[in-house]
Structure 1
């Protein structure tokens, strides 16, 4: 009854092409789905039936068509820029690894539209937590196994100031103070100029430290000698009186002869050469016994002294042991005193303010105290055959037996792609190609319906033979 088989062959065509329309329709429906990969249908014939044998071989008739494979196109989609710091696109191989906190099931996705939840976990739209590696704050490298990217309870702890560099211009025309003048931080008549800098203690509290400079005169070589002192308000340090400037340390002043020549430089002294360059820097670290906080020692740097002659040899000219031109920071020139720049380290405590991501997938945090440090590095997954992952909806895929087990690696390593921050990978659906496929499938469907119609007409003619 071969005529009946023609009905079933036509029906197989209707079924197969109907499923093909579903695939094409799914592609078109997801033309704007983030990270979506289009699918293609291939058809195969159904096992043929042998109806006879001749001298040329078996005579076979096909039994219709069926869907052979539905394959997924893994081609990279275009990347669209966004304004969100937590949006990421994979440029190359790899999938984001996402953990469901309810089931602990790990899924995978190309869609990098992420945001922070109420617990500061980096999640996708379904609440799955992005996986990555924690970064060691000391080495700046990713360590350990993949874990949740969680930014809760992060803070930049306060750091006390340890170094202050002052770039000043001292007035070379300032008159030498009368012989016997004793420095008093509360009396401006006992020094020439003052420069203030705000420093941090171990708790992040700020303190204003004053540096007072006094021109002592010239040494035998004609170099100008300045002593400096360091003071703070008495309430800032242990044993001080609020409102009374108190000197820190007990420096020895430079020695000046009866004729006005400096014969020995002090323990806190700056010496300048004929071009205004710093040739000798005596600047020992200053220890501040803060009230309410641990004591801190601050290295005061006025530049890289040049050294000059036998009185100021290069090897001992600079307190930090770094010699130079003597013109890179504090200098002495004719004209008004000026504080050009004062730089310091240390900072107050701060809290996480913003996140940024780079091409290596490293997520860095900027804190309210201005500090910035790397926190996590996003993990990417690669399967032996990611084209056969199980799609479970929500732009998510899960491991199958055919896909093999995933390998987690850092972006840019082991064949993994890189991360494009502030970007999302678009669907790779080609609408023009899909519409062409739709036309072809539609024509195939219509042709198979004609087969059924023709077979029905033939059966009708057969039934009329009985009349």
Structure 2
């Protein structure tokens, strides 16, 4: 029987090394497969046969060949290749993307992050599996709720009315106060010194040009310079207004002049000897829009410095914030200029493009210039990622040996981070695979020699009878 067993031993070698060639060939074939992890073949011997026992009870054993003990996967990180697509993502570190098959509801997992948008604006892989993630709260921009499909359908940035305007103007200190008794008229440039415009939004996203007019009044009891300010808008945008007629918003009490001393009004700015703003009287303005809900706008001319007992810091600034008095509207010698004019609010907009950061957050950039977080990609981790079931198309499935997945956010709980605009390549080392191929080939040839030699020995045995 021994000589015949040698044939089967050689055959086991041929079978095992043949399978090893398949493994190496699979590695080489997937050298460009995204997120592919190469496999290694581990051989083990077959149960030996005892052929005799000596007096010392030492068994004489002869092996029965070889078999494949295990095929393991190399979990080493693949190289990262940069791309130009905002929906391409690579995982740096542990974790797998979770992908739901919409046809079966089965969740698959993958390291390949080449994602695209389908006709329903779902974020999918090349096979139509929908990427899973967490919705982001619009205010806190933090992940909320359970894992769900990442979809950007019907997203829009709703219009937001303007609530605050910040004015940074330089008023000319050389301006001469107007004649006593001059009444402000927004349509008559002779009733104010300077004008500056800013566009504000109503609740429907419609823009309205608001004019700010500044009028120099004179000095107060402390020798500071007092200016009145007014706001006006085309009456066509206001309820009860007349189109083409500039209409003042609010009902301010003008500053008064008596015996050469000015008492600041309800909409006035007071400047100290260095041109700094020392008192800001700036009540919020209510705009009664024609086609939209009324909106209240706070006018901020800067952080007033305050000056002694006359202008205590606690009451000198309309917002109650003290400062240098030089960060907003100031009074200096020279031409009038508006250095900056900022306001919040925006018109309605639609999703224009997507952006992704290292935490896996996907941001939407809208046509109105707004940018906000929409989703955060979920990553899955298994107790043993190396034994997940491979189902093709770069997809993996949970097995009994792998354990149940734990889903979390990138960068937390031992999970890796996300490289946006990038893809993870295969970790196959071609040089190492070619060396393996040579070793396997030589092993196969050697086992074939075993069979050939055994055949020759059997032939010699047959010659004995002759």
The Cα of 1:262 is off from its aligned counterpart by 3.2
Is contact 1:216-1:262 (8 Å) kept?
no
Provide the residue aligned with 1:66 in structure 2: 67
Q: Take 2:35 and 2:433, find their aligned partners in 1: how far apart are those partners? A: 17
Matched, 1:311 2:310: yes
Matched, 1:120 2:118: no
The Cα of 1:105 is off from its aligned counterpart by 0.5
Q: Which consecutive unaligned segments of at least 5 residues does structure 2 have?
A: none
Runs of 4+ residues deviating >3 angstroms? none
The Cα of 1:456 is off from its aligned counterpart by 1.1
The Cα of 1:465 is off from its aligned counterpart by 2.3
Q: Take 1:38 and 1:81, find their aligned partners in 2: how far apart are those partners? A: 22
Provide the residue aligned with 2:447 in structure 1: 448
SS in 1 for 2:327: coil
Matched, 1:297 2:296: yes
SS in 2 for 1:160: coil
The Cα of 1:81 is off from its aligned counterpart by 1.4
Provide the residue aligned with 2:321 in structure 1: 322
Is contact 2:218-2:262 (8 Å) kept?
no
Matched, 1:365 2:364: yes
Q: Take 1:431 and 1:75, find their aligned partners in 2: how far apart are those partners? A: 15
Provide the residue aligned with 1:229 in structure 2: 230
Q: Take 1:404 and 1:285, find their aligned partners in 2: how far apart are those partners? A: 61
Matched, 1:133 2:147: no
SS in 2 for 1:101: coil
The Cα of 1:64 is off from its aligned counterpart by 1.1
Provide the residue aligned with 1:49 in structure 2: 49
Matched, 1:103 2:104: yes
Deviations 1:280-339 (A, max 9, x none): 111100000001000000000111111223332222111111121111110111111101
How many residue pairs get aligned? The number is 465
SS in 1 for 2:386: helix
More deviation, 78-87/205-214: 78-87
Is contact 1:225-1:262 (8 Å) kept?
no
Deviations 1:198-245 (A, max 9, x none): 000011110000011111112232211111111101101011111010
Is contact 1:109-1:395 (8 Å) kept?
yes
Q: How do 1:144-223 residues align onto structure 2 when only pairs under 5 Å count?
A: 144-223=145-224
Provide the residue aligned with 1:339 in structure 2: 338
Provide the residue aligned with 1:15 in structure 2: 15
Deviations 1:84-143 (A, max 9, x none): 111111111111110000111100111111111111111111111111111111222111
Q: Take 2:73 and 2:248, find their aligned partners in 1: how far apart are those partners? A: 76
TM-score, normalising length: structure 2: 0.98
Is contact 1:307-1:323 (8 Å) kept?
yes
Q: Take 1:263 and 1:407, find their aligned partners in 2: how far apart are those partners? A: 72
Q: Which consecutive unaligned segments of at least 5 residues does structure 1 have?
A: none
Q: Take 2:171 and 2:262, find their aligned partners in 1: how far apart are those partners? A: 21
Q: Take 1:309 and 1:384, find their aligned partners in 2: how far apart are those partners? A: 69
More deviation, 211-220/292-301: 211-220
The Cα of 1:368 is off from its aligned counterpart by 1.2
SS in 1 for 2:368: coil
Q: Take 1:55 and 1:26, find their aligned partners in 2: how far apart are those partners? A: 51
Matched, 1:30 2:40: no
SS in 2 for 1:86: coil
The Cα of 1:52 is off from its aligned counterpart by 2.4
TM-score, normalising length: structure 1: 0.98
Provide the residue aligned with 1:421 in structure 2: 420
Q: Take 1:338 and 1:28, find their aligned partners in 2: how far apart are those partners? A: 69
Q: Take 1:66 and 1:357, find their aligned partners in 2: how far apart are those partners? A: 48
Q: Take 2:262 and 2:383, find their aligned partners in 1: how far apart are those partners? A: 81
Provide the residue aligned with 1:391 in structure 2: 390
Q: Take 2:408 and 2:452, find their aligned partners in 1: how far apart are those partners? A: 58
The Cα of 1:263 is off from its aligned counterpart by 3.4
Matched, 1:431 2:425: no
SS in 1 for 2:127: coil
SS in 1 for 2:442: helix
SS in 1 for 2:17: helix
Superposition RMSD on alpha carbons, in Å?
1.1
The Cα of 1:175 is off from its aligned counterpart by 1.3
Is contact 1:13-1:445 (8 Å) kept?
yes
More deviation, 50-59/219-228: 50-59
Q: Take 1:270 and 1:61, find their aligned partners in 2: how far apart are those partners? A: 104
SS in 2 for 1:108: strand
Q: Take 1:311 and 1:2, find their aligned partners in 2: how far apart are those partners? A: 115
The Cα of 1:170 is off from its aligned counterpart by 0.7
Is contact 2:217-2:262 (8 Å) kept?
no
